[in-house]
């Protein structure tokens, strides 16, 4: 029987740690409060092999409509850190893109449509997760 890389239990342990971190920071509005933690970095360090596991989790979060402590829209940061080519669509306010930006300067405000972000993330993972995971080199 082949050994999973990374092992599911290693991923699930890091996921629980990240969820706890997200719960503690639930009232924060800046991204960095959710992704600046060891658990997030552990998941990213697992590399492309973890993408099918992330797909399972994001599907579950989307199905149950998000619970306090779910990484939710921050999964896209994990995926982008692992696969830099991964990007979600950006658009102007009211355009229906998962991420909408506006104001006088591009960084003046950003609106995250969490259901749209999760749906776009699921669609990307369904098309790409297993192909990237197959290219992963197990840790030495």
SS3 state of residue 86: coil
Q: Which domain holds residue 36?
A: 8-85+114-135
Can you tell me the mean pLDDT for 79-91?
A: 86
pLDDT in tens, 9-54: 999 999 999 999 888 877 676 777 778 899 999 999 999 999 999 9
In a 3-state reduction of DSSP, which class is residue 110? Answer: strand
54 within some domain:
yes
pLDDT (0 to 100) of residue 64: 82
Interatomic CA distance for residues 116 and 89, integer angstroms: 10
Please answer whether residues 83 and 132 qualify as being in contact, where contact means their C-beta atoms are separated by less than 8 angstroms. Answer: yes
Q: CA–CA distance from 98 to each of 7, 18, 73, 84, 101 (Å)? A: 31, 23, 10, 18, 10
> Is 46 among the domain residues?
yes
Is the residue at 130 inside a domain? yes
Q: What angle do CA 129, 135, 139 make, to 5 degrees?
A: 105
Task: Select from 51, 46, 38, 40 the least CA-distant residue to 79.
Answer: 51
Span 76-94, average pLDDT: 83
Among candidate residues 115, 114, 135, the one with its CA nearest the CA of residue 52: 135
Domains in the chain: how many in total?
1
Is 121 within the bounds of a domain? Answer: yes
Average pLDDT over residues 101-124: 74
Q: Is residue 90 part of a domain?
A: no
Which residues is 111 bridged to in the sheet?
100
């Amino acid at each position: 029987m082949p050994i999973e890389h990374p092992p599911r239990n290693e991923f699930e342990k890091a996921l629980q740690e990240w969820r706890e971190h997200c719960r503690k920071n639930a009232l924060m509005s800046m991204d960095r409060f959710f992704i600046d933690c060891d658990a997030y970095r552990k998941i990213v360090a697992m590399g492309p092999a973890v993408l099918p596991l992330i797909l399972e989790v994001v599907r579950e979060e989307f199905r149950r409509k998000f619970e306090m402590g779910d990484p939710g829209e921050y999964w896209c940061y994990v995926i982008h850190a692992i696969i830099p080519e991964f990007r979600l669509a950006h658009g102007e306010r009211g355009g229906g893109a998962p991420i909408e930006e506006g104001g006088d300067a591009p960084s003046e405000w950003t609106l995250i449509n969490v259901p749209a972000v999760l749906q776009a993330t699921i669609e990307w993972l369904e098309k790409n997760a297993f192909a990237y995971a197959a290219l992963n080199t197990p840790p030495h």
